[in-house]
Amino acid sequence: MSEAMDSVVTSSDFKPETIVDAVRRAVGTPNGVLGLHEPVFAGKEIAYLEECIKSTFVSSVGPFVDRFERMLEQVTGAKRAVAVVNGTAALHACFRLAGVEPGDEVISPALTFIATTNAIAYCGATPHFVDSSLATLGMDPAALALRLEAIAERTARGTINRETGRRIAAISPMHTFGHPVALDEIAAIAHDWGIALVEDAAESLGSTYKGHAVGSRARLAALSFNGNKIVTTGGGGAILTNDEELGRRAKHLTTTAKLPHKWAFVHDEIGFNYRLPNLNAALGCAQLEQLDGFLASKRRLAAAYERVFADVPGVRFSCEPEDTTSNYWLNAVLLAEPYAERRDELGDTARAMAVSRLPVGSSASRILGSPASARAMATRCCWPPLSWLGRCPARACRPTRSSAPSARRLRSAALKPR
């Protein structure tokens, strides 16, 4: 598809104004500033925050934390959810729980946000990049399989990288922009090599893979609730697991490893002060109650972008992969190869026309040099505004009947046998 797109345009055909105009037509806002993202607080956010403040339980203990975790379990179908301060902390804890140790390697997609690799580095481990797929924007299972065949060896210590002598402790695919990766293929490869699988689902709450909520079947997965995510707690994240013992360990590790006691402070290992405050959880509970409406709005915008960009030569909108339902957390368009060298002109034009947009060129793998597909996306991919949620009436953000999976349907699908 990309080669066909490239063959019909040249660099001289590139007209940034046409792309910006398409964005405005999709959003339905011909004038005024279009921000990259605006969170919506159209539910019980103020009421829950007032309730939390009046209770005086505003720190890491309180009923809203417990409620938020139970709601996440309902929405995703995971057996245990442990709320933490942000998505990076969730990933760090997941890697620790997966057994990642100093001196290990963790396989990561070449196109990812820096938080993925930061969390690996916090463990004293080294990120090992494999190429990403133009179809899913996430880790390419074919590239993963080829890379492991080329460098990996099974030993008594586990799977070792023959080139470095380091143990490959985990594989961490990310569901890029909310688009689920080819999870079955990646999970099968991880299983065959005896490597732990940790899902980076930071961007994909509400997305499904083959009818199951992402993270719902994982041994370990991480979510994020940053201010730009589909559901926000201001700052926050969560660990998902279907292993009850891992769930207990996750809660213990992220609560400074403090042993339960009425008054004594005894800590049995090095833990982390990662627990989500009750105040943030109150905001999250109100947000999760509106998830259906948020998903419906995201998908309406994605459909509008797909429609308008179909008429723009040399620009391809990134659609959800086959057998998935994307939350379209972040909409992305891929420019034809001849346009790559002029991509930054689009940013200047967009700013001049009061439309926010960012390049995807901040790929973490640029530090070490990126594989071909990831490099193509990093140099040719752009983000139009994430949502029109900030401009929709409150009623549009309430649960609706739509193509977006509801919390109830998500849980039902997640609990079906494979």
pLDDT tens digits, one per residue of 375-394: 666 666 676 765 443 333 33
**Same structural domain, 155 and 184:** yes
Query: What domain range includes position 12?
Result: 2-39+291-414
Interval 135-188: pLDDT, tens: 999 999 999 999 999 999 999 999 999 999 999 999 999 999 999 999 999 999
pTM given for the model: 0.87
**Same structural domain, 249 and 107:** yes
Q: Of 237, 261, 288, at which residue does a domain stop?
A: 288
Phi, psi for 43 (deg, rounded to 5): -115, -130
Q: Of 238, 266, 288, at which residue does a domain stop?
A: 288
- Counting the structural domains of the chain, the total is 2
User: Which DSSP helix (H) or strand (E) runs through 253?
Assistant: helix 244-253
**Same structural domain, 122 and 219:** yes
**Same structural domain, 15 and 67:** no
| Res 371: pLDDT | 63
First vs last C-alpha separation in the chain: 32
- Identify the CATH number of the domain in which residue 82 sits: 3.40.640.10
**Same structural domain, 260 and 166:** yes
**Same structural domain, 129 and 241:** yes
**Same structural domain, 353 and 383:** yes
Say whether pLDDT at 360 is over 70: no
- Identify the CATH number of the domain in which residue 304 sits: 3.90.1150.10
**Same structural domain, 63 and 143:** yes
Cα separations in angstroms, 285 against 43, 84, 116, 235: 10, 14, 26, 13
**Same structural domain, 227 and 90:** yes
**Same structural domain, 295 and 284:** no
**Same structural domain, 84 and 219:** yes
**Same structural domain, 357 and 398:** yes
Cβ atoms of 74 and 407 within 8 Å: the answer is: yes
